[in-house]
Structure 1
Amino acid sequence: MKEQTNLWEIFYKGLFEQNPIFRLALSLCPALAVTSTVVNALAMGLSVMFVITANNVVVSIFRRWVNPKVRVPVYITSIATIVTVVQLTLQAFFPVLFKELSIYLALIVVFAIILARAEVFAMKNTVIPSFFDGFGMGAGFTGAMVLIGAIRELFGSGTILGIPIMGDWYDPALIMVLPPGGFILIGLMIAAFNIMGEYQDKLKETKAAISSQDAIQRGEA
């Protein structure tokens, strides 16, 4: 039961506490470039989720045989191989999406969040925790991408997944599907998530202080 709780905590931290985009402000290039529609945002998010999870597993499996002096080239080689698989799969089955995302798919190889999880977590932990770490970070990245994409598409085009939502009366705010609008939106959302994070941290500190006082009072009694 304790192991399941730990795995859940490893997974959950990527959703909010260490969300790659909203809390760590990493890999903002695709968050700005490909989130003009929900479909593109979801495709990029799922691609990154697969790459970061698979790379974490690979790095965790081979960590004992990797010389620390060459660990970064090993990370890059592993990530590049997995990204190539993703590119070929999209090119074969989803050519339109591949054309939309092609240049940014190649850039996944050097995404800071993927390299960071390999170095900080996968290189120091076994396969199962590394899988949940990568999956959680990938899920947090995908969720952030889809949220940004939904807001930009809704206000910039009046649609969600290409389906009209606002109606003929709505005059789309073109800036939302342009880079400046995406930049402003991401900045506001990062600020909002940081405020919520600070509130949660203060709440945890308050609960810890109350628990500590209760423990002291029980000890005195």
Structure 2
Amino acid sequence: MALFSAENKRAFMEPLNLNNPVLIQVLGICSALAVTSKLEPSIVMGLSVTVITAFSNIIISLLRKTIPNRIRIIIQLVVVAALVTIVSMVLKAFAYDVSVQLSVYVGLIITNCILMGRLEAFAMTNAPWPSLLDGIGSGLGYAWILVAVGAIRELFGNGTLLDIRIFPEGYPNNGMMTMPAMAMIILGCIIWAHRSVVKIED
């Protein structure tokens, strides 16, 4: 099978738009609300989930024929937990300030519905290469939502992006934009706009 066959392209592209884990499946909402008060932690969280989803998908796909059905969830959790631990240690070593901002939410990636959903729905029944593409696509589909929400909240909340001033000095900081409730409203607006443009088949 060609590396970039139609099926493989679909495995990568659909989670970015037509089958987006946040916009369509409404998964991973908690972290999307919790870590998006600024753009930097949104980017780091999105990339962390992408890396973990990609590698966990490919590992489970490689092991899928040897995993007893009755303990498959336990094996999946062990694989994800190991990857989350590695990512958490890397963040603490090279991006400590962002790691502090993300707090417990990096550890909670272990229970992220997106990861477990892709492992069960795709990696357990597909070859490693399509599983890798699906993992990357699902992670990036989640990540771009976090980046969009984080950019909007930081820009209109503080007048900055990545702590670089965009709005002129004197812009009154909007405290409401940093509140979790506003993240929910922004996310709801993005979901509404997406579903208004993209026709989802029942």
Q: What's the TM-score once normalised by structure 2's chain length?
A: 0.94
Cα distance in 2 for residues equivalent to 1:161 and 1:4: 38
Kept in 1, the 8 Å contact 2:122–2:131? The answer is: yes
In 2 relative to 1, CA 119–94 (structure 1 residues): closer, same or farther, beyond 3 Å?
Answer: same
Give the share of equivalent positions with the same residue, in percent.
34
Cα distance in 1 for residues equivalent to 2:21 and 2:175: 27
Tell me the equivalent position of 1:126: 127
Gaps of at least 5 residues in structure 1 are 203-221
State the AA in 1 paired with 2:173. Answer: P
Tell me the equivalent position of 1:144: 145
Gaps of at least 5 residues in structure 2 are none
Kept in 2, the 8 Å contact 1:83–1:105? The answer is: yes
Kept in 1, the 8 Å contact 2:12–2:136? The answer is: yes
Tell me the equivalent position of 1:171: 172
Kept in 2, the 8 Å contact 1:23–1:193? The answer is: no
Tell me the equivalent position of 2:32: 31
Q: 1:3: how far off?
A: 4.6
Aligned residues: 201
Asked if 1:185 is matched to 2:186, the reply is: yes
Cα distance in 1 for residues equivalent to 2:30 and 2:38: 15
Task: Give the structure with higher Rg (CA).
Answer: 1
Classify the secondary structure of the residue corresponding to 2:198: helix
Tell me the equivalent position of 1:4: 5
Tell me the equivalent position of 1:58: 59
Q: 1:94: how far off?
A: 1.2
Tell me the equivalent position of 2:156: 155
State the AA in 2 paired with 1:168. Answer: E
Cα distance in 2 for residues equivalent to 1:197 and 1:71: 35
Q: 1:5: how far off?
A: 2.7
State the AA in 2 paired with 1:139. Answer: L
In 2 relative to 1, CA 125–158 (structure 1 residues): closer, same or farther, beyond 3 Å?
Answer: same
Kept in 2, the 8 Å contact 1:10–1:136? The answer is: yes
Cα distance in 1 for residues equivalent to 2:108 and 2:195: 27
Cα distance in 2 for residues equivalent to 1:2 and 1:58: 18
State the AA in 1 paired with 2:48. Answer: S
Cα distance in 1 for residues equivalent to 2:19 and 2:176: 29
Classify the secondary structure of the residue corresponding to 1:89: helix
Cα distance in 2 for residues equivalent to 1:154 and 1:93: 26
Cα distance in 2 for residues equivalent to 1:34 and 1:131: 25
State the AA in 2 paired with 1:82. Answer: L
Q: What's the TM-score once normalised by structure 1's chain length?
A: 0.87
Kept in 1, the 8 Å contact 2:3–2:129? The answer is: no
Classify the secondary structure of the residue corresponding to 1:14: helix
Asked if 1:82 is matched to 2:83, the reply is: yes
Structure with higher helix content = 1
Tell me the equivalent position of 1:209: none
State the AA in 2 paired with 1:187. Answer: G
Q: 1:130: how far off?
A: 0.2
Asked if 1:69 is matched to 2:78, the reply is: no
Kept in 2, the 8 Å contact 1:87–1:102? The answer is: no
